Amino acid sequence: MLDEFLDVIYWSRQALGIIIGLLWGLIPLKGFVALLLFAVVNAGLIYLYFSNFQSVDEEEFGGPWELTKEGFMTSFAGFLVTWIIIYSGLNFD
């Protein structure tokens, strides 16, 4: 059960990173503000998911910080690739 929930968090975060990358590229957001907004939205939505929607005992997984950071860096990489491709493709001069 524990590994399955962590897998759900991990893959949800990967999909969320790509979706946010698409949105940020289409809007178009750029710079540090876009990076900061990604971190806040990504961590915030995942935190809301496991604390309110799933109502899991965070301590079983090492606390809320462990769940919040699960898969964050790979999600960030997917976000960056998607954001750069979409933004560059739409705003090429």
What is the tens place of the pLDDT at every residue in 15-57?
A: 999 999 999 999 999 999 999 999 999 999 999 999 898 888 8
CB neighbourhood size of 43 (10 A): 15
Q: How many helices (H) and strands (E) does the chain have?
A: 4, 0
**Cis peptide leading into 64, omega within 30 of 0?**
no
User: Which alpha helices (DSSP H) does 1-93 contain, by range?
Assistant: 2-26, 31-48, 64-69, 72-90
**What share of residues in the chain are helix, strand, coil (percent, to 5)?**
85, 0, 15
Asked if the model's pLDDT at residue 72 lies above 80, the reply is: yes
pTM score of the predicted model: 0.90
